[in-house]
Chain A
Amino acid sequence: QKEVEQNSGPLSVPEGAIASLNCTYSDRGSQSFFWYRQYSGKSPELIMSIYSNGDKEDGRFTAQLNKASQYVSLLIRDSQPSDSATYLCAVNKPGGYNKLIFGAGTRLAVHP
């Protein structure tokens, strides 16, 4: 079992729809969870951080965390073609320094 798992996609959604991206992790002790957006050929850009169970909203983005189920998700409302990118889930590995384990990413395609 991978430490951080994401569906590779592509996830295809029409413009204006809600895109739902999911991530599961294996270490119950993880406390910090991040979503990064990576456009093709570019570096990852942080879009959301979440540390507590529940929802965290920032503009069109909502991160949801359920530690009991070891599950973190990202919702993108009113999806735009400019949201088309690969979304990386990153989870901290407890113990010592801030080691982040990255999932392989989910490719999102928003079509007009």
Chain B
Amino acid sequence: DGGITQSPKYLFRKEGQNVTLSCEQNLNHDAMYWYRQDPGQGLRLIYYSQIVNDFQKGDIAEGYSVSREKKESFPLTVTSAQKNPTAFYLCASSVTGGSEPQHFGDGTRLSIL
């Protein structure tokens, strides 16, 4: 089945630690996105990538980093510089990054230890 796989489902971060969230898609989509969702709020864009080896900052990129070495993969690293990382992280993809809808993975819930 085609889809977007995020792992792990739950993740705990210690003080000063970097953690990496995985996102893999087998939909052959060019564009991939990372969002953060806090309780009672809409989704906020962290980073997006329209093509392999290229990515752009979204609205809240500080404290996060990404890579796009393969079309299928768009991992997100939450660095120690992100002081309030507790949130629900959602990875999405779309066919080309045009006007079509985005489809989401199941999400990773990150908490502080």
- Bound CA span A51–B40, Å: 27
Given contacts A34-B101, A51-B99, A104-B40, contact A99 B45 (CB under 8 A): yes
- Bound CA span A37–B67, Å: 29
Main secondary structure of the interface of B (DSSP, over half): loop
Per-residue CB proximity of B91-104 to A under 8 Å, as 1/0? 00010111111111
Do B40 and A45 touch (CB < 8 A)? no
Looking at B31, B56, B101, which has the most chain A CB atoms within 10 Å of its CB? B101
Q: Which residues of B from 58 to 113 have beta carbons under 8 Å from A?
A: 90, 94, 96-107
Per-residue CB proximity of A39-53 to B under 8 Å, as 1/0? 000111110010100
Do B42 and A43 touch (CB < 8 A)? no
Q: Answer whether residue B43 sits at the interface, using C-beta atoms and an 8 A cutoff.
A: yes
Q: Answer whether residue A26 sits at the interface, using C-beta atoms and an 8 A cutoff.
A: no
B41 to chain A, nearest CB (A): 6
Q: Answer whether residue B34 sits at the interface, using C-beta atoms and an 8 A cutoff.
A: no
Do B98 and A98 touch (CB < 8 A)? yes
How many B residues have CB within 8 A of the partner chain? 23
Kindly list chain B residues whose C-beta atoms are within 8 Å of the C-beta of A97: 31, 48, 50, 56, 97
Given contacts A46-B101, A92-B99, A97-B97, contact A102 B106 (CB under 8 A): no
Kindly list chain B residues whose C-beta atoms are within 8 Å of the C-beta of A42: 106-107
Nearest-CB residue, chain B, relative to A107 = B40
Per-residue CB proximity of A84-105 to B under 8 Å, as 1/0? 0000101010000111111111
Kindly list chain A residues whose C-beta atoms are within 8 Å of the C-beta of B102: 46, 90, 98, 100
B residues touching A (Cβ–Cβ < 8 Å)?
Answer: 31, 40-43, 45, 48, 50, 56, 90, 94, 96-107
